[in-house]
Protein backbone atom coordinates (compact mmCIF):
# COMPACT_ATOMS: atom_id res chain seq x y z
CA UNK A 1 0.00 0.00 0.00
CA UNK A 2 2.76 2.48 0.88
CA UNK A 3 4.63 1.62 -2.31
CA UNK A 4 1.56 2.48 -4.34
CA UNK A 5 1.25 5.86 -2.59
CA UNK A 6 4.94 6.57 -3.17
CA UNK A 7 4.73 5.67 -6.86
CA UNK A 8 1.68 7.88 -7.34
CA UNK A 9 3.40 10.79 -5.59
CA UNK A 10 6.59 10.31 -7.58
CA UNK A 11 4.68 10.07 -10.85
CA UNK A 12 2.72 13.24 -10.19
CA UNK A 13 5.93 15.05 -9.19
CA UNK A 14 7.64 14.06 -12.45
CA UNK A 15 4.61 15.04 -14.52
CA UNK A 16 4.46 18.40 -12.74
CA UNK A 17 8.15 19.04 -13.37
CA UNK A 18 7.89 18.42 -17.10
CA UNK A 19 4.72 20.48 -17.36
CA UNK A 20 6.56 23.47 -15.89
CA UNK A 21 9.67 22.83 -17.97
CA UNK A 22 7.78 23.27 -21.24
CA UNK A 23 7.89 27.05 -20.90
CA UNK A 24 11.14 28.88 -21.64
CA UNK A 25 13.01 30.22 -18.65
CA UNK A 26 12.68 33.86 -17.68
CA UNK A 27 16.19 34.51 -18.96
CA UNK A 28 15.41 32.91 -22.31
CA UNK A 29 12.24 34.95 -22.72
CA UNK A 30 13.99 38.21 -21.82
CA UNK A 31 16.83 37.31 -24.17
CA UNK A 32 14.39 36.70 -27.01
CA UNK A 33 12.60 39.99 -26.35
CA UNK A 34 15.95 41.83 -26.17
CA UNK A 35 16.99 40.36 -29.50
CA UNK A 36 13.67 41.41 -31.08
CA UNK A 37 14.00 44.96 -29.77
CA UNK A 38 17.60 45.41 -30.88
CA UNK A 39 16.97 43.78 -34.28
CA UNK A 40 14.18 46.29 -34.87
CA UNK A 41 16.68 49.11 -34.24
CA UNK A 42 14.87 50.24 -31.10
CA UNK A 43 16.47 51.33 -27.85
CA UNK A 44 16.58 48.70 -25.15
CA UNK A 45 15.11 50.02 -21.92
CA UNK A 46 12.48 49.15 -19.34
CA UNK A 47 9.69 50.74 -21.37
CA UNK A 48 10.51 48.79 -24.55
CA UNK A 49 10.69 45.52 -22.59
CA UNK A 50 7.41 46.34 -20.87
CA UNK A 51 5.75 47.14 -24.22
CA UNK A 52 6.88 43.81 -25.70
CA UNK A 53 5.81 41.84 -22.64
CA UNK A 54 2.39 43.49 -22.63
CA UNK A 55 1.98 42.65 -26.31
CA UNK A 56 2.95 39.02 -25.66
CA UNK A 57 0.60 38.90 -22.68
CA UNK A 58 -2.25 40.24 -24.79
CA UNK A 59 -1.63 37.64 -27.51
CA UNK A 60 -1.34 34.72 -25.09
CA UNK A 61 -4.27 32.30 -24.90
CA UNK A 62 -2.54 29.96 -22.46
CA UNK A 63 -3.01 30.92 -18.78
CA UNK A 64 0.35 29.38 -17.81
CA UNK A 65 2.17 31.35 -20.48
CA UNK A 66 0.26 34.46 -19.45
CA UNK A 67 1.38 33.97 -15.87
CA UNK A 68 4.98 33.62 -17.13
CA UNK A 69 4.75 37.00 -18.89
CA UNK A 70 3.05 38.56 -15.85
CA UNK A 71 5.90 37.39 -13.59
CA UNK A 72 8.41 38.98 -15.96
CA UNK A 73 6.46 42.23 -15.92
CA UNK A 74 6.51 42.15 -12.12
CA UNK A 75 10.31 41.80 -12.20
CA UNK A 76 10.60 45.06 -14.14
CA UNK A 77 8.91 47.00 -11.35
CA UNK A 78 10.45 45.51 -8.23
Q: Which residues contact 50 (CB under 8 A, 6 or more apart)?
A: 73, 76
How many residues does the structure list for the chain? 78
What's the confidence (pLDDT) of residue 77? 85
Residue of higher predicted confidence among 43 and 12: 43
**CA–CA distance, 54 with 68 (Å, rounded to integer):** 12
Are 31 and 73 in contact by the 8 Å Cβ rule? The answer is no
Report the SS3 class of residue 20: helix
Tens digits of residue pLDDT in 20-65: 545 689 999 999 999 999 999 999 999 999 999 999 999 999 999 9
CA distance 29 to 53: 9
Question: What pTM does this model have?
Answer: 0.68
Q: Please tell me which residue, 19 or 60, carries the higher pLDDT value.
A: 60
Amino acid sequence: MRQTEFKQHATSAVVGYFARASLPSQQQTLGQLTREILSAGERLNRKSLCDRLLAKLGQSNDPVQGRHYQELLNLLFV
